[in-house]
Structure 1
């Protein structure tokens, strides 16, 4: 191979490495942007607890963030294996932070989902107790 070809190959590799880093950064930016807004999980217009829980459960959905994170990890892994990144710690840290945020959303969603199925049953149980107490009170009044 001639010197010119080697120089061209290095230049092409450098361009590819820069494009790969840009792809990772772009995917990370899109993933962060796809996460729900803080107000979406904090504010509600619901009239009751079940409405609040259903709204919160919907708001805790990571949406397309997981797909964008997967793309970022794919390009990051490829770039690392090709030794294309001079300094990739910042990308690695951001990927870890994003993974943690998505995992937190997922865990919170599971907890809210459990409450969403538990609260109506609990309400029914408490209503039955109230009805039983009322019936007992009515029976006592009738006896007097």
Structure 2
């Protein structure tokens, strides 16, 4: 191989490494943007608890963030293995932070989902208990 070819290969590798870093950064930015808006999680227009929970459950959808994070991890891993990044600590830190945020949001969504399915049954139980208490009170009044 000639010296010129080796120089061209090094230049091409440098360009590829820069593009790979840009791809990781772009995917991370898209993932952060895909996360739920803080106000959507905090505010509600619901008339009852079930409406609040359903709205919150919808707001806690991470959307395309998981796919974007996966894409960032893929290119980051490829870049690390190729030793293409001079300094990748910032990317690794951001990937970890995003991964934790998505995990926290998903866990909260699961908890809200459980409450969403529990609250109607709890309401029915309390209504039944209230009806039984009223019936017992009526029976005592009749005696």
TM-score, L = length of structure 2: 0.98
Distance across 2 between alignment mates of 1:103 and 1:61: 11
Equivalent position of 1:61 in the other structure: 61
Q: Match for residue 41 of structure 1?
A: 41
- Distance apart, 1:137 and its partner CA: 1.4
After TM superposition, the runs of 4+ consecutive aligned structure 1 residues lying more than 4 A away are none
RMSD: 0.7
Hey, what does 2:77 align to over in structure 1? 77
d(CA) in 2 for partners of 1:104 and 1:61?
A: 11
Aligned to 1:46, the other structure's residue is in SS state: coil
Instruction: Give the match for residue 51 of structure 2.
Output: 51
5+ residue gaps, structure 2: none
1:77-129 CA-partner distances (Å, limit 9, x unpaired): 00000000000000000000000000001110111111111111111111001
Inter-partner Cα distance in structure 2 for 1:138 and 1:46: 36
Give the number of aligned pairs.
143
- 2:110 counterpart residue number: 110
- Do residues 23 (structure 1) and 28 (structure 2) align? no
TM superposition shift of 1:16: 0.2
* TM-score normalised by length of structure 1: 0.97
Cα deviation for residue 138 of structure 1 reads 1.5
- Counterpart Cα distance in 2 of 1:106 and 1:55: 15
